[in-house]
Amino acid sequence: TTVNGAAVTRILTGPDGRVSEVATDAGTYPADVVVLGIGVEPETALARGAGLPVGPHGGLLTDLSMRVVGHENIWAGGDCVEVLDLVAGRTRHIALGTHANKHGQVIGSNVGGGYGTFPGVVGTAVSKVCDL
């Protein structure tokens, strides 16, 4: 059973300690496995306070070199930035470790005198949970 838009109020377990039911504001559902899809928001209060540019989704705005827009000596990457969504053609906040790792490589190269770019993302992720 897939339930969208309901608030989970409790996850109930059986005598063996395994999940048995999920209680929501829309009802209670039997369950063997519970998969939660929750989002994150960038924590950019310090950056905002310093006057750095923040995009519509709350992440710092950077150019292709991961340099903060309008600030020649400040770079940012990872979960605190917005990146170009190559499909939609606008910035989005996509907090994925694979992207953060690439941001770090680009930033390290550029700070060290090299030249690297992060052109954007397609904005998809796939997860496999057991045999589902």
pLDDT tens-place string over residues 45-72: 999 999 999 999 999 999 999 999 999 9
Give domain limits for the chain.
1-38, 45-111
pTM: 0.73
End-to-end CA distance of the chain: 12
Contact 108, 100 (CB under 8 A): no
Sheet holding 19-24, edge to edge: 8-13, 19-24, 27-30
CATH code at 45-111: 3.50.50.60
Residue indicated by tokens 């770019």:
117
* Predicted pLDDT of residue 107: 98
Round the CA-based radius of gyration of the chain to a whole number and report it. Answer: 20
The whole-angstrom separation of Cα 107 and Cα 76 is 8
- The pair phi, psi for residue 94, each rounded to 5°, is -125, 100
Residue 71 to residues 20, 61, 81, 98, Cα–Cα distance (Å): 53, 10, 14, 25
Mean pLDDT of the chain: 92
* Predicted pLDDT of residue 78: 95
Contact 116, 67 (CB under 8 A): no
For the chain, percent of residues with pLDDT exceeding 70: 100
- List, for the chain, all residue ranges whose pLDDT scores fall below the cut of 70: none
* Predicted pLDDT of residue 69: 97
Contact 82, 97 (CB under 8 A): no
The 10 Å Cβ neighbour count of residue 8 is 13
